[in-house]
Amino acid sequence: MKSEFTLKKITIQPLKIVTFLPVVLLGVLALSVNAQTIQVNKENRTIAITATDKVTVLADIATVHIGFIAYGPDSNAAYANGSRTSNAIVKALTAAGVPNDTIQSENQSLAPVQNYQLDKLTEAQKAQRQFQVTQSWTIRTAAKDAAKVLDTAVKAGANQSGQIEWSFKDENAPEAEAAAKALKRARAQAEQMATSLSAKLGSLLYASNEVQSTPRPYMRAMAAAPMAMDKVEPLAINPREVEKSATVYAVFAIE
d(CA 11, CA 27): 36
Specify if 126 maps to a domain.
yes
Q: What are phi and psi of 8, to 5 degrees?
A: -95, 140
d(CA 240, CA 144): 10
- Please give the tally of structural domains in the chain: 1
Model pLDDT, residue 10: 36
Specify if 11 maps to a domain.
no
pTM equals 0.67
Q: 111: helix, coil or strand? A: strand
134-159 tens-digit pLDDT: 999 999 999 999 999 999 999 999 99
Task: With beta carbons less than 8 A apart as the criterion, state whether 86 and 135 touch.
Answer: yes
d(CA 58, CA 146): 14
Residue among 198, 204, 215 at smallest CA distance from 249: 204
Specify if 138 maps to a domain.
yes
65-89 tens-digit pLDDT: 999 999 999 999 999 999 999 999 9
Specify if 184 maps to a domain.
no
Any idea what the CATH number is for the domain that residue 120 is in?
3.30.70.2970
Percent of the chain's residues with pLDDT above 70: 76
Q: What are phi and psi of 37, to 5 degrees?
A: -110, 130
202-242 tens-digit pLDDT: 999 999 987 776 654 433 333 333 345 667 899 899 998 88
Model pLDDT, residue 231: 78
Higher pLDDT, 211 or 96: 96
Specify if 136 maps to a domain.
yes
Q: Rounded to the nearest 5 degrees, what angle is found at the Cα of 28, between the Cα atoms of 27 and 29?
A: 120
Q: 20: helix, coil or strand? A: coil
Specify if 214 maps to a domain.
no
H or E element, residue 102:
none
d(CA 29, CA 133): 60
Model pLDDT, residue 136: 97
The total number of residues shown for the chain amounts to: 255
Specify if 117 maps to a domain.
yes
pLDDT band for position 35 (50/70/90)?
A: very low
H or E element, residue 191:
helix 172-196
Q: By residue range, what is the domain housing residue 92?
A: 61-167
Specify if 239 maps to a domain.
no
d(CA 234, CA 237): 8
Return all residues near 128 (Cβ < 8 A) that are at least 6 apart.
Answer: 71, 72, 73
Model pLDDT, residue 87: 97
